[in-house]
Structure 1
Amino acid sequence: MKLNNKGKIIAAAVIIVFIAGFIIVKKPFSVKKGPQMEEIFPEIRDISIVISATGVVQPMNRLEIKPPIAGRIEKVLVREGDVVSKGKVLALMSSSERAALLDAARAQGEDNVKKWEEIYKPISVIAPINGTVIVRGSEPGQTVGSGDAVFVLSDRLVIKTSVDETDVGKVKVGQKAVITLDAYSDTEIPGSVYHISYESSVMNNVSIYETFVKPDKVPDFFRSGMTANVNIIRAESKGALSLPVNAVKIKDGVSFVMIKSGDKPKRKEVVTGIDDGTYVEIKSGITQNEAVLAVKSGYTANNDNARSAGTSPFMPKRPGARR
């Protein structure tokens, strides 16, 4: 059945209304929404820029003590972990001749043994430095040669770590550091850099420099060979007024924040200090009581990673951010 003119007009009108309604309904969902903003207040916190490295606990100076002659250990006077002074007797030993003589005297009675012990004195093994006994390598009755290490002393336990060539220029002797051990990860140990090697070595095709960090005070639980994590502090600001890095923008080399002023945000310049990649120090420009607009925490925009991070990929980065 063919439609008359009136029917055609009605059908066309229905189609037009349907299309218009579809466009009206769809249009709000096609509008690209901007980032959601929230008001935040500056906070007081400590900010630091660090160079992180992994290392191992080892003696600063590791000294093996060997007997002056071959013979037999008669008595050991120290244990591992004992702190000894220079000149302290660590053990008494007999030369091979004295040991043979005493063994023969024992067959003749205890009085004969005491007689020869008075005539033929034992040899002392003496500590040549102040330090800690980290290895007790012999026991009474053990035969040792002149090349055997009967004790190992350490004057101090330190952290040996490696810094690659891109960071070594930022590390200076005397810089503060924070040490944690894998075995005691909840304990932070303050220390400082005391030596940086002058010669590099290559690891995984990267030139590295051995860097030594010493604790301000060596804890009792330190043991040679433990794995350590070291944060060398390049810069720090205690009790700094701070904002999240995504709240501070840079344009033409000038740092600024956005504050609420009526219905529209208002730009306000600030002077920044160091930042650790999460928070940035605010030296001047705003106070702790001024609210600042920042991208809402957890906001992400499709196909716009730079905006989800709160920064523009075309804006310069602030100097001093953590590596």
Structure 2
Amino acid sequence: MKNNKKGNRKVIIWSIIGVLAVASGIALYAMPKKTNYTEVKPMVGNLATNYSYSGSVEAKNRQTVLADKTMQINEIKVKEGQQVTTDSVLMTTVMGGEIKPKIAGEVSTIYVEENAQLMPGSKLIDIVDYSDLQLKVQVDEYDLSAVSIGKDATVTIHSFSKDVSGKITDVSKEGEYANGVTNFIATISLPKDSNLRVGMSAEAKVLNQSVSNVVLLPMSALQFDANNSPYVLIKDSNNNNTPKTVAVTLGINDGVHVEIKSGVTANDTVLVPPTVKPTGFGSGSPMRQSTKETATPQGSSGGAKGQ
């Protein structure tokens, strides 16, 4: 009997210990876990959005010199790569005629040989003015308001990652319909630059919207509720730094940064959950910038940069 009582006592003790262990585990699991937020400080700065169009560099002036009648070439007086003017004699005919270009430029291609018999309309020589280059881009009908003549454009030459300043000099009055939309051709003048070559690919950026001295946040700091309304979590120093949900009103964005019209000030600290990796700028750090971004901190000498 004594042994049975001792055995029962041990079972009861271990049962109590087991219940306490399970209860402790449940309590620990049920306790709220601390979230490691990333702190982001809003910045006051400038922001711009841009329309972007792609094209290739071409010469503004070029001429293909053609035979205006039946002729036989006597002598070719120039060679490819030679600079010529409108007074230069390109070639002569056996009948004593002289053929001159209508533009100044460089002889890019010679199509004929001496003593060749030619029919009217035959190609003789190509003259290209490589000192006056331009960029032609396609603009769809919905963007026409952004590409008015005289408007500035920032042109990025892809091959050497260089930005040059251009100006819109012409917009075609007739468009071409394709795939449900009508496209027009905008012509952008380019500055003289010895590095520019005909055929280089380029991207033109034309200003759409810009704002100055506004509160900016990385777009990754934003969250959205079930109604797709934007909000952020703000550090609340009056409540043990517990995050406070604050609705925000948004302005323009460039895909990286967004203008905050209301809800957040530059004095707030925005908390970003660990599932979201903030980009742009963090606590106490200057705003990240590259040639693709448009946001600039207040006081920056760079101003608003196009995208």
Question: In the TM superposition, what whole-angstrom CA distance separates every residue of 1:258-301 from its partner, at most 9, and x where no partner exists?
Answer: 3544225567787754211221235677665x1322316xx21x
What TM-score do you get using the length of structure 2 for normalisation? 0.64
User: What residue is the counterpart of 2:154 in the other structure?
Assistant: 178
Per the TM alignment, residue 150 of structure 1 is displaced from its structure 2 partner at its CA by 0.7
Structural mapping, 1:1-323, within 5 Å: 4=4, 7-8=7-8, 10-11=10-11, 13-18=13-18, 20-22=20-22, 24-25=24-25, 28=28, 36-60=36-60, 62-69=62-69, 70-72=71-73, 74-76=75-77, 80=81, 82=83, 84=85, 88-95=86-93, 97-98=94-95, 120=96, 122-127=97-102, 129=103, 132-133=105-106, 135-137=108-110, 141=114, 143=116, 145=118, 146=120, 147-153=122-128, 156-163=132-139, 168=143, 171-174=146-149, 175-184=151-160, 186-193=161-168, 194-195=170-171, 198-202=174-178, 205=179, 207=181, 209-237=183-211, 241-247=215-221, 258=234, 260-263=236-239, 264=242, 273-282=251-260, 288=266, 290-295=267-272, 299-300=274-275, 308=276
Q: Find the aligned partners of 2:177 and 2:28 in 1 and give their Cα distance.
A: 61
**Conserved? CA contact 1:259–1:268, under 8 Å:** no
Maintained 8 Å contact 1:182/1:227: yes
Aligned partner letter, 2:58 = Q
Residue deviations 1:209-239, cap 9 Å, x none? 2443414424322222222233333223466
Which sections of structure 2, spanning at least 5 residues, go unmatched?
279-306
Coordinate RMSD, CA, aligned: 4.4
State the structure with more CA Rg. Answer: 1
8 A contact 2:101–2:127 mirrored in 1:
no
Structure 2 counterpart of 1:293, one-letter code: V
Match of 2:194, SS state, is: coil
CA contact (8 A) 1:67 1:150 kept: no
Q: Determine if contact 2:235/2:271 at 8 Å carries over to the other structure.
A: no
Rounded to whole Å, the distance in 1 between the matches of 2:134 and 2:163 is 15
**Cα distance in 2, alignment partners of residues 21 and 274 from structure 1:** 55
Structure 1, unaligned runs of 5 or more: 99-119, 301-307, 311-322
How far apart are 1:181 and its partner, in Å? 2.5
- Quote the Cα distance in structure 1 between the aligned partners of 2:46 and 2:84: 38
Change (3 A) 1:201 1:216: same
Relative distance call for 1:27 and 1:268 in structure 2 (3 A) is closer
CA contact (8 A) 1:77 1:89 kept: no
Instruction: Give the Cα–Cα distance (whole angstroms) in 2 for the partners of residues 6 and 141 of structure 1.
Output: 125
The percent identity for this pair of structures is: 19
Distance 2:222 2:143 in 1: 30
Deviation at 1:248, TM superposition (A): 5.6
Tell me the TM-score normalized by structure 1: 0.61
Distance in 2 between residues matched to 1:294 and 1:232, nearest whole Å: 35
Contact 2:216 2:260 in 1 (8 A): yes
